[in-house]
Amino acid sequence: MAETHSLQDLQQPIISSKVFIQRDYSSGTICRFQTKFPSELESRVDKQQFEETIQTLNNLYAEAEKLGGKSYLEGCLACLTAYTIFLCMETHYEKVLKKIAKYVKDQNEKIYAPRGLLITDPIERGLRVIEITIFEDRSIGSAR
Amino acid sequence: MKKCEYQQIDPRALTVSPSSAQNHTEKKVQRPRRKWEVFPGKNRFFCDGRIILARQSGVLPLTLGLIVVTCGLFFAFDCPFLVEHLTVFIPVIGAVLFVFVVFSLLRTSFTDPGILPRATPDEAADIEKQIDTSGSSTYRPPPRTKEILINQQVVKLKYCFTCKMFRPPRTSHCSLCDNCVERFDHHCPWVGNCVGKRNYRFFYSFIISLSFLTSFIFGCVITHITLRSQAGKSLVQAIQESPARYPFVHTLLSCLDSFSFTVVELVICFFSIWSILGLSGFHTYLVASNLTTNEDIKGSWSSKRGAEESGNPYTYNSILTNCCATLCGPMPPSLIDRRGFLPPDEAMSAASASEIELPPFAAKNDAHMEDNCQDLALSCTA
């Protein structure tokens, strides 16, 4: 049991600082985040890696909010059933949000946690920011 | 029985001493709190956070009452006559419209309109830091604005002092509900809630279906009156011909003749039809041009006539696409997560923060402290 450690198991991972990636409104009110690489992360993670993460998130949100045949069909069906269908069916957006949560968890485990970073799912911050918590740089091995 | 000694836990000491904080956390596990219980806006929640309403929902019962009473009178007094003389589909259509209207109304009232959760303290601090260092703010103090480009058009974002963040475009702060609402249209007292991004389609279907219902009842009532008068009976004759077993009751009943209810319906429909049809027309225009009531009233996009850049940056430049995007687009999720559980440390800091900032909450926390002390006493005796 004592061999495996995650960031939660460590007594009090000391938060060094937090970086907030703001929304990019250049194409309207759709959910998009700025891909500019923040200077605080320069020493921790590869720029390309970071941009890829943000871009994938942007693509997933674009997929959720896409106006196409499927979303129109869902909307019309909902209207015809006096919107009661939303009480029993999961919307397309919610399905994509689950995908996003899984992706964020995945990225955290594979790339960011080993580097002492933690990405918070934007939905927990009201889709306003991507919050990246930077933990104090101490190697995991020395925690035992 | 309670022989062990214990100290009253001072809520202010919670954040300071970690040992007492640990004890407190153990006790808090018994009753995990949901996020709606610590929601900072002026909303009311029912069914354990499933239903959300504005604080003042005073006119919603009136709206419901008017609709139910008018339809009730219609079904009771007009339908029997019209089924007999016209077709059985009249009450069927009426019932379908009535159900649609009530469902849309309840969905509009009880749905989260698109409330933006307030910025966390870390976020707010980060934004403050950026304002101080960035060039967009002058040496003058607030109002703070940030200019951004949306579809090659300059749009100003305002800073919300209550929610401590720059409001996204098309978001406005509702003072009645004390929340920032996305794609804020207006606060509707008839519906008892704000109308925003998430419930605009319900609101629109409510007013459209209500227009149809009111017009339908109006039409049926006119038909009823016309058919009755065509049958040759005058009102007075109809009263005189009804059975008169008890003269006094008969006189009373003659005043409350079913026909008079029809007249009541006529009056209600006549007065409401103009406003409802007008509202439907207005909102149809808004939907077709992808505007909100807020933007239309403020004239956000039409103030500079003749200038090419002052068009609406959110429009898709096609009426059909605008309508589809607004009404049939994907349903965005609720951002405030009403039914999620508060993590224990947040619950504590929420409790202690409210203790420090708002004295009236002290009584609530004292009751909590008493419970905790009792629990501690009980655990000592075990």
pLDDT digits (tens, 9 = 90+) for B60-110: 999 999 999 999 988 888 888 888 888 888 899 999 999 999 999 999 999
For chain B positions 135-154, those within 8 Å of chain A (CB to CB) are 148-151
Answer with the residue of higher pLDDT: B211 or A75.
B211
Whether B51 and chain A come into contact, CB under 8 Å, resolves to no
Phi-psi sector, B161: left (phi>0), alpha (psi -120 to 50), beta: alpha
Which residues in chain B are contacts of A97 at CB distance < 8 A? 333
pLDDT digits (tens, 9 = 90+) for B127-153: 888 776 555 555 545 557 888 888 888
Q: Chain A: nearest CA to B291, how far in angstroms?
A: 13
CB contact under 8 A, B123 and A125: yes
Q: And the tokens for B280?
A: 């439907």
Q: Chain A: nearest CA to B8, how far in angstroms?
A: 27
Which residues in chain B are contacts of A60 at CB distance < 8 A? none
CA-closest candidate to residue A17, choices B351, B129, B312:
B129
Lowest mean pLDDT among A79-83, B62-66, B167-171, B319-323: A79-83
Q: Chain A: nearest CA to B117, how far in angstroms?
A: 6
Catalytic residues of B: 188
Which residues in chain A are contacts of B122 at CB distance < 8 A? 18, 20, 131
- pLDDT over 50 at B173, yes or no: yes
Whether the CB-CB separation of A132 and A41 falls below 8 Å is answered with yes
CA-closest candidate to residue B324, choices A64, A71, A65, A82:
A71
Of A23, A79, A93, the CB nearest to B330: A93
Q: Is B3 buried (19+), middle (13-18) or exposed (0-12) by CB count in 10 A? A: exposed
CB contact under 8 A, B123 and A79: no
The SS3 call for residue B83 is: helix
Model confidence at B371, pLDDT cuts 50, 70, 90, reads low
Q: Characterize B182-217 residue by residue with b for buried, 16 or more Cβ atoms within 10 angstroms of its Cβ, and e for exposed.
A: bbbbbbbbbbbbbbbbbbbbbbbbbbbbbbbbbebb
pLDDT digits (tens, 9 = 90+) for A114-139: 888 899 999 888 899 999 998 887 65
Model confidence at B302, pLDDT cuts 50, 70, 90, reads low
Whether B163 and chain A come into contact, CB under 8 Å, resolves to no
DSSP B198: T
Please state, for a pLDDT cut of 70, what percent of chain B lies above it: 69
Q: Where do we find the tokens 């006559």?
A: B81
Of A27, A72, A86, the CB nearest to B331: A86
> Identity (one letter) of the amino acid at B211?
S
